[in-house]
């Protein structure tokens, strides 16, 4: 139940995120108290911490899971997500590629692609980023975020027509919320200061070229 509640929070499928996370936190705590060595209980705790954006605290929970089961693809992907925000960004792609090898038909595979694309962009490998972000876009046509990141990537490449088209689609899917300015997007959590600086140098720079205003 804890993993189900946090799953819908992490996937943006609930209007009661705070209540769901609070309930999940209690359930995960009960599970760990009853079975402190259970990989599933540690996974649930990691999911709670990730939903609370406590990424550094979540990392050891997922590492405990993976130590018990090296083939747990969703734990590898979740660990990659935490490291993207917590700082060791060079570890993200290898973890995510391992998850892809283990679960090549994963129902959340678009998220795997998206995470790899984001890291490539943050590390200024724009062409590689576009390849993976396009895969993420195709894999989840209803998500605005691959379009937002593609707008940035195409902006950095100087393909401003494509950047504008991706930005327009992102805004349509978002209903006009959250991407109308750089300032509006900065309110999101972009990670520890070193990761935030990478976003400034690449992601936000590309969005400016795509036509996103500062305010």
The pLDDT value given to residue 178 = 64
Per the prediction, the chain carries an average pLDDT of: 96
- In angstroms, what is the C-alpha Rg of the chain? 17
String of DSSP letters for 44-64 = HHHHHHHHTT-HHHHHHHHHH
- Sign of the dihedral defined by the CA atoms of residues 36, 97, 93, 212, in that order: negative
Share of the chain above pLDDT 90, in %: 93
Q: 3-state class of 2 per DSSP?
A: helix
- Domains of the chain plus CATH, in order, are 108-215 (1.25.40.10)
| Tokens, residue 195 | 């990761």
Query: pLDDT tens-digit profile of 97-143?
Result: 999 999 999 999 999 999 999 999 999 999 999 999 999 999 999 99
Q: Is the pLDDT of residue 36 over 70?
A: yes
Phi-psi region at 192: left, alpha or beta (left = phi > 0; alpha = psi -120 to 50): beta
The pLDDT assigned to 196 comes to 95
- Structure confidence at residue 180 as a pLDDT band (50, 70, 90): confident
CA–CA distances in Å: residue 96 to residues 37, 90, 101, 114: 25, 11, 9, 10
Say if residue 177's pLDDT is above 80. Answer: no
pLDDT for 176 beyond 80: no
Helix (H, G, I), strand (E, B) or coil at 35: coil
With vertex at residue 57, the alpha carbon angle to CA 52 and CA 59, rounded to the nearest 5 degrees, is 105
Do 86 and 192 touch, CB atoms closer than 8 A? yes
Which pLDDT belongs to residue 69?
A: 97
CA distances to 148, 157, 159, 162, 183 from 165, in Å: 10, 14, 10, 5, 21
Q: Give the model's pLDDT for residue 175.
A: 87
């Amino acid at each position: 139940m804890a993993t189900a509640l946090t799953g819908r929070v992490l996937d943006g499928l609930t209007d009661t995120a705070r209540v769901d996370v609070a309930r999940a936190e209690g359930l995960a705590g009960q599970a760990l108290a009853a079975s402190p060595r259970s990989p599933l209980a540690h996974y649930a705790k990691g999911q709670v911490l990730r939903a609370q954006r406590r990424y550094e605290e979540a990392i050891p929970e997922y590492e405990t899971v993976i130590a018990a089961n090296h083939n747990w693809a969703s734990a590898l992907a979740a660990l990659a997500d935490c490291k993207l925000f917590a700082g060791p960004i060079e570890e993200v792609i290898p973890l995510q590629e391992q998850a892809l090898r283990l679960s090549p038909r994963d129902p959340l595979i678009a998220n795997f692609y998206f995470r790899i694309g984001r890291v490539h962009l943050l590390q200024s490998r724009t062409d590689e980023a576009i390849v993976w972000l396009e895969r993420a876009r195709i894999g989840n046509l209803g998500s605005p975020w691959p379009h937002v990141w593609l707008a940035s990537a195409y902006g950095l490449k100087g393909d401003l027509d494509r950047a504008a088209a991706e930005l327009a689609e992102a805004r349509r899917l978002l209903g006009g919320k959250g991407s109308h300015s750089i300032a509006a997007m900065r309110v999101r959590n972009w990670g520890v200061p070193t990761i935030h600086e990478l976003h400034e140098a690449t992601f936000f720079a590309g969005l400016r070229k795509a036509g996103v205003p500062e305010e």
